Structure 1
Amino acid sequence: MTHIFPRHSKLNAPVAVGGEGIYLIDSTGKRYLDGSGGAAVSCLGHGDAEITAAIKAQLDQLAFAHTGFFTSEPAEKLADLLIDHAPGDLDRVYFVSGGSEATEAAIKLARQYFVEKGEPQRGRIIARKQSYHGNTIGALSAGGNAWRRAQFAPLLLDVSHIEPCYAYRLKRDDESLEDYGQRAAQALEDEILALGPDTVMAFMAEPVVGATAGALTPAPGYFKRIREICDQYGVLLILDEVMCGMGRTGHLFACEADGVAPDILCIAKGLGAGYQPIGAMLCTSEIYDTIANGSGFFQHGHTYIGHPVAAAAGHAVVSAILDRGLIGKVREQGAKLHDKLTDRFGQHPHVGDIRGRGLFRGIELVADRETKDPFDPARGVAAKIKKAAFEAGLVCYPMSGTIDGQRGDHILLAPPFIITDDQLDELTDKLDQAISAVI
Structure 2
Amino acid sequence: MTTATGNGRITKHISSSVLYRQLRQPNPSIVSSKGCFLFADDGRQIIDASSGAAVSCIGHNDERLHYAILEQLKKVEYCYPYYFTTPVAEELSQVLTDSTGGKMSKVFIVSSGTEAVEAAIKMAMQYFTELPQPQRQRTRFIARKQSYHGNTLGSLSTGFHPPRRELYEAMLSKNVSHVSACYAYRGKTETDSDETYVGRLAQELEDEFQRVGPETVCAFVAETVCGTTLGSAPPVEGYFKAMKEVCERHGALLILDEVLSGMGRTGTLHAWQQEGIVPDLQTVAKGLGAGYASIGALLVHNDVVRVLAQGTGAFIHSQTYQSHPLACAAALEVQKILKEDDLLSNVRKQGALLGKLLVERLGNHPNVGDIRGRGLLWGIEFVKNKATKEPFPSSNKVSPKIHSLGLSTDHGICFLAAHATMDDKTGDYIALAPPYIVSEQEVHLMVDRTEKVLRAFFGY
With structure 2 as the length reference, what TM-score do the two structures score? 0.94
Q: Give the corresponding residue for 2:415.
A: 396
2:338 is paired with a residue of what secondary structure?
helix
Tell me how far 1:412 sits from its aligned partner.
1.2
| Distance change (3 Å), C-alpha of 1:162 and 1:85 | same
Contact 2:130 2:307 in 1 (8 A): yes
| Distance change (3 Å), C-alpha of 1:123 and 1:87 | farther
Q: Distance in 1 between matches of 2:439 and 2:289?
A: 22
Matched letter for residue 457 of structure 2: V
1:132 is paired with a residue of what secondary structure?
coil
Contact 2:259 2:284 in 1 (8 A): yes
Q: Distance in 1 between matches of 2:417 and 2:79?
A: 39
Tell me how far 1:10 sits from its aligned partner.
1.9
1:395 is paired with a residue of what secondary structure?
coil
2:380 is paired with a residue of what secondary structure?
strand
1:14-53 to structure 2, matched below 5 A, reads 14-53=28-67
Q: Give the corresponding residue for 1:120.
A: 136
Q: Give the corresponding residue for 1:6.
A: 20
Q: Give the corresponding residue for 1:232.
A: 249
Q: Distance in 1 between matches of 2:101 and 2:185?
A: 29
Q: Give the corresponding residue for 1:73.
A: 87
Q: Pick one of 172, 177, 185 that aligns with 2:194.
A: 177
Tell me how far 1:295 sits from its aligned partner.
2.1
Q: Distance in 1 between matches of 2:82 and 2:178?
A: 36
Q: Give the corresponding residue for 2:311.
A: 294
Greater Rg by CA = 2
Query: CA offsets, 1:291-338, max 9 Å, x none?
Result: 233222322111100001100111111111122111111000000000
Q: Pick one of 112, 129, 132 that aligns with 2:145.
A: 129
Which range moves more in the overlay, 273-282 or 289-298? 289-298
- The answer as to 2:437 corresponding to 1:418 is yes
Tell me how far 1:175 sits from its aligned partner.
1.5
Contact 1:330 1:358 in 2 (8 A): yes
Q: Distance in 2 between matches of 1:251 and 1:116?
A: 33
Q: Give the corresponding residue for 2:7.
A: none
Contact 1:185 1:223 in 2 (8 A): no
> Mind listing any 5+ residue stretches in structure 2 that lack a counterpart?
1-14
Matched letter for residue 210 of structure 1: G
Query: CA offsets, 1:14-45, max 9 Å, x none?
Result: 22111111001112332110000011000001
Which range moves more in the overlay, 209-218 or 169-178? 169-178
2:229 is paired with a residue of what secondary structure?
coil
2:230 is paired with a residue of what secondary structure?
coil
Q: Distance in 2 between matches of 1:409 and 1:87?
A: 38
2:228 is paired with a residue of what secondary structure?
coil
Q: Give the corresponding residue for 2:119.
A: 105
Q: Percent of counterpart pairs with the same letter?
A: 44
Q: Distance in 1 between matches of 2:302 and 2:65?
A: 31
Query: CA offsets, 1:76-129, max 9 Å, x none?
Result: 000000100115721100000010000010001111111122110000000000
Matched letter for residue 399 of structure 1: A
Q: Distance in 1 between matches of 2:76 and 2:106?
A: 23
Q: Distance in 2 between matches of 1:262 and 1:351?
A: 34
Q: Give the corresponding residue for 2:3.
A: none
Q: Distance in 1 between matches of 2:49 and 2:62?
A: 17
Matched length: 439
| Distance change (3 Å), C-alpha of 1:88 and 1:75 | closer
Q: Pick one of 176, 179, 200 that aligns with 2:217.
A: 200
Q: Give the corresponding residue for 2:166.
A: 150
Q: Give the corresponding residue for 1:437.
A: 456
- The answer as to 2:237 corresponding to 1:223 is no
Q: Pick one of 250, 255, 262 that aligns with 1:245.
A: 262
Tell me how far 1:172 sits from its aligned partner.
1.5
Query: CA offsets, 1:272-303, max 9 Å, x none?
Result: 00000000001112212322332223221111
Matched letter for residue 124 of structure 1: R
- The answer as to 2:348 corresponding to 1:338 is no
Which range moves more in the overlay, 240-249 or 291-300? 291-300
> Mind listing any 5+ residue stretches in structure 1 that lack a counterpart?
none
Q: Distance in 1 between matches of 2:24 and 2:402?
A: 17
Q: Pick one of 161, 165, 168 that aligns with 2:182.
A: 165
Q: Distance in 1 between matches of 2:70 and 2:323?
A: 17
Q: Distance in 2 between matches of 1:87 and 1:200?
A: 28
Tell me how far 1:438 sits from its aligned partner.
2.1
Q: Distance in 2 between matches of 1:405 and 1:399?
A: 12
Q: Distance in 1 between matches of 2:384 and 2:378?
A: 20
Q: Distance in 2 between matches of 1:87 and 1:29?
A: 47
Q: Distance in 1 between matches of 2:367 and 2:59?
A: 31
Contact 1:181 1:218 in 2 (8 A): no
Matched letter for residue 412 of structure 1: A
- The answer as to 2:321 corresponding to 1:304 is yes
Contact 2:82 2:318 in 1 (8 A): no
Q: Distance in 1 between matches of 2:265 and 2:250?
A: 31
Tell me how far 1:146 sits from its aligned partner.
1.8
| Distance change (3 Å), C-alpha of 1:88 and 1:59 | closer
2:327 is paired with a residue of what secondary structure?
helix
Q: Distance in 1 between matches of 2:35 and 2:214?
A: 50
Query: CA offsets, 1:118-151, max 9 Å, x none?
Result: 1100000000000000001110001011221111
Q: CA RMSD in A?
A: 1.1
Matched letter for residue 5 of structure 1: L
Which range moves more in the overlay, 159-168 or 180-189? 180-189
Structure 1 stretches of 4+ with a deviation exceeding 4 A read none
1:290 is paired with a residue of what secondary structure?
helix
Query: CA offsets, 1:327-356, max 9 Å, x none?
Result: 111000000000110111010000011001
Q: Give the corresponding residue for 2:77.
A: 63
Q: Give the corresponding residue for 1:321.
A: 338
